[in-house]
């Protein structure tokens, strides 16, 4: 018997991750459309609840922040498929997945996230194109010679469409290059070096990877000539001039006691960017403390179309996290404990624990739209529009929170904070 070994999970995204149970239920094709939509919505709610709880753990990080709740959740769900006993119960609780058959739910959500298509061009040059790009890929690497449980392998292949390959983790640099190259490829080179020097360690047995890439154009682009250098007021009281995009249109708009809310639709109106701007005099920390899945749902529900004069900074950022400590604070304790971890559905011959859990995400916002990517790694050691009259003002000239949301399911693909748009 070897010493407890590490199970590695790598997830990539120019956004997200999610949950799983061991045995997949009947194939999605056998379900009615309504049942499939219901499953997708249940999965999205669980993902959002997990994502906001994770946000409360990582928001203490200073400066800009960006991550993919969906990407992290999927990576952990792939790992959950191999858990048993108290380890499985704790993972279900953290992933908001008690009593849920997550592999089937994830399959339904993945289907619901497939973009619709629009017809572009004239006559013979007419063609159908997706309204946005969302590429999600999963991958598993096994240590050479390791045998894994059939049910665990089946869950990865059928529910997560994750090819299973081999690597020699005792050759750390070669294994690191293998994983990093895969993540970079799946995220259009937006996520580089998710696996830092020294990882994966030689005692790694498995690396599970999820990569997600998102790119979408605004339904109505910002006019480039309207972008101007304007002041952005940072949390420390200092001010910096940054390129600010400006537009006066009809947007979904709402308010709470502490914040203004606005949604910018992407082309096709299937996804949107939500902006949460603390009202003047309200610290960003006060707004962030209020954020959970139920509060966000209530705020979104009360938004209505309004004429708004929007001022929004252009920005680009990359964020990196090691989130194993955050997950333990959320209640996923045994999975990291050599004496308590139960991953017998992966292997009964090798004791397995989770080691480092890595996440890295990228986003870029400009006049044309958004491009986002994220990666997580876990080691198991409208046409013509009339200009609105008397518009409301939404001026994002101070730190704010944002999210990229799939409207039909409500799934939050990305969540972030802009503290300083001049820093990438």
Contact 80, 95 (CB under 8 A): yes
pLDDT for 98-137, tens place per residue?
998 888 898 899 999 999 988 776 766 778 889 999 999 9
Could you give the CA distance from residue 93 to residue 124 in angstroms, rounded to a whole number?
54
218-314+384-418 belongs to which homologous superfamily? Alpha-1-antitrypsin, domain 1 (2.30.39.10)
**Assigned token pair, 66:** 């960006």
Mean pLDDT of the chain: 88
- What percentage of the chain has pLDDT greater than the value 70? 89
pLDDT for 326-378, tens place per residue?
999 999 999 999 899 999 999 988 889 998 899 999 999 999 999 999 987 77
Contact 227, 246 (CB under 8 A): yes
CA 166 to chain CA mean position, Å: 27
Read off the pLDDT of each residue in 252-279 and give the average, rounded to a whole number: 97
| Cβ neighbours, 10 Å, residue 26 | 8
Question: 216: which residues sit within 8 A by CB, 6+ positions away?
Answer: 131, 132, 133, 266, 267, 271, 369, 370
pLDDT for 238-248, tens place per residue?
999 999 999 99
**Assigned token pair, 374:** 């994220």
**Assigned token pair, 342:** 């139960």
- Range from 167-176, 282-291, 386-395 carrying the lowest mean pLDDT: 386-395
Q: Identify any residues that bridge with 129 across adjacent strands, giving them in sequence order.
A: 118
User: Measured over all CA atoms, what is the biggest interatomic distance in the chain, rounded to whole angstroms?
Assistant: 74
Q: Is the pLDDT of residue 25 over 50?
A: no
Could you give the CA distance from residue 146 to residue 142 in angstroms, rounded to a whole number?
6
Helix (H) or strand (E) holding 76: helix 69-80
Instruction: Look at strands 133-143 and 204-217 and give their pairing.
Output: antiparallel
Read off the pLDDT of each residue in 84-105 and give the average, rounded to a whole number: 93
Q: State the residue for tokens 């308010």.
A: 255
Contact 176, 377 (CB under 8 A): no
Q: Break the chain into its structural domains and give their ranges.
A: 33-115+130-216+317-363, 218-314+384-418
Could you give the CA distance from residue 360 to residue 320 in angstroms, rounded to a whole number?
4
Question: 94: which residues sit within 8 A by CB, 6+ positions away?
Answer: 50, 53, 76, 327, 330, 331, 332
Task: Please report the sign of the dihedral spanned by the C-alpha atoms of residue 336, residue 319, residue 201, residue 16.
Answer: positive
User: pLDDT confidence of 57, banded at 50, 70, 90?
Assistant: very high
**Assigned token pair, 409:** 């399911």
Q: pTM of this prediction?
A: 0.89
Alpha carbon distances (Å) from 189 to 71, 163, 180, 185, 373: 17, 21, 10, 6, 9
Question: In terms of C-beta density within 10 A (0-12 exposed, 13-18 middle, 19 or more buried), how is residue 57 classed?
Answer: middle
Q: State the residue for tokens 């979408």.
A: 216
Contact 208, 378 (CB under 8 A): yes
**Assigned token pair, 103:** 């592999």
CA angle 47, 50, 51 (to 5 degrees): 80
Query: Tell me, what's the pLDDT at 14?
Result: 33
pLDDT for 150-189, tens place per residue?
999 999 999 999 999 999 999 999 999 999 999 999 999 9
User: pLDDT confidence of 219, banded at 50, 70, 90?
Assistant: very high
Query: Tell me, what's the pLDDT at 2?
Result: 46
The DSSP-derived string for 298-348 is HHHHT-EEEEEEEEEE-EEEEEEEE-HHHHHHTT--GGG-TTT---TTT-S
Which one is predicted more confidently, 422 or 24?
422
**Assigned token pair, 238:** 């200092």
Could you give the CA distance from residue 375 to residue 414 in angstroms, rounded to a whole number?
12
Candidates 2.40.50.140, 3.30.497.10, 3.40.462.10, 3.30.465.10; CATH matching 33-115+130-216+317-363: 3.30.497.10
Query: Tell me, what's the pLDDT at 28?
Result: 31
Query: Tell me, what's the pLDDT at 16?
Result: 29
Query: Tell me, what's the pLDDT at 236?
Result: 94
Q: Identify any residues that bridge with 269 across adjacent strands, giving them in sequence order.
A: none
User: pLDDT confidence of 314, banded at 50, 70, 90?
Assistant: very high
**Assigned token pair, 166:** 């081999």
Contact 33, 112 (CB under 8 A): no
């Amino acid at each position: 018997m070897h010493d407890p070994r590490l199970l590695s999970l790598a997830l990539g995204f120019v956004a997200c991750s999610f949950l799983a149970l061991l045995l997949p239920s009947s194939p999605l094709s056998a379900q009615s459309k309504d049942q499939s939509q219901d499953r997708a919505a249940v999965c999205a709610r669980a993902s959002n609840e997990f994502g906001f709880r994770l946000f409360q753990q990582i928001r203490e990080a200073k400066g800009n922040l960006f991550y993919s709740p969906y990407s992290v959740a999927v990576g952990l769900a792939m790992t959950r498929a191999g858990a048993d006993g108290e380890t499985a119960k704790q993972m279900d609780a953290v992933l908001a997945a008690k009593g849920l058959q997550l592999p089937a739910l994830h399959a339904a959500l993945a289907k619901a996230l497939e973009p619709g298509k629009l017809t572009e061009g004239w006559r013979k040059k007419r063609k159908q194109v997706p309204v946005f790009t969302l590429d999600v890929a999963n991958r598993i690497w096994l240590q050479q010679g390791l045998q894994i449980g059939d049910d665990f392998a089946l869950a990865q292949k059928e529910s997560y469409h994750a090819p299973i390959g081999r690597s020699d983790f005792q050759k750390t640099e070669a294994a690191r290059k293998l994983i990093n190259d895969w993540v970079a490829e799946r995220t259009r080179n937006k996520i580089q070096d998710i696996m830092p020097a020294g990882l994966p360690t030689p005692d790694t047995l498995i690396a599970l990877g999820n990569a997600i890439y998102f790119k979408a154009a605004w339904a109505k682009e910002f006019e480039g000539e309207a972008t101007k250098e304007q002041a952005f007021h940072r949390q420390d009281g200092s001010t910096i001039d940054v390129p600010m995009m400006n537009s006066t249109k009809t947007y979904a708009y709402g308010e709470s006691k502490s914040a203004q809310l606005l949604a910018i639709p992407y082309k096709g109106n299937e996804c949107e960017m939500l902006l949460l701007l603390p009202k003047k005099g309200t610290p960003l920390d006060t707004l962030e403390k209020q954020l959970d899945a139920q509060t966000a749902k209530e705020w979104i529900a009360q938004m209505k179309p309004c004429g708004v004069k929007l001022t929004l900074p252009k920005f680009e950022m990359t964020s990196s996290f090691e989130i194993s400590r955050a997950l333990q604070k959320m209640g996923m304790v045994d999975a990291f404990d050599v004496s308590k971890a139960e991953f017998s559905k992966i292997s009964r011959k090798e004791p397995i624990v989770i080691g480092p859990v890595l996440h890295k995400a990228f986003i870029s916002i400009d006049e044309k739209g958004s491009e986002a990517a994220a990666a997580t790694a876990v080691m198991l050691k409208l046409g013509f529009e009339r200009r609105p009259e008397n518009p409301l003002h939404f001026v994002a000239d101070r730190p704010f929170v944002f999210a990229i949301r799939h409207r039909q399911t409500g799934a939050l693909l990305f969540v972030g904070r802009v503290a300083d748009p001049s820093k990438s």
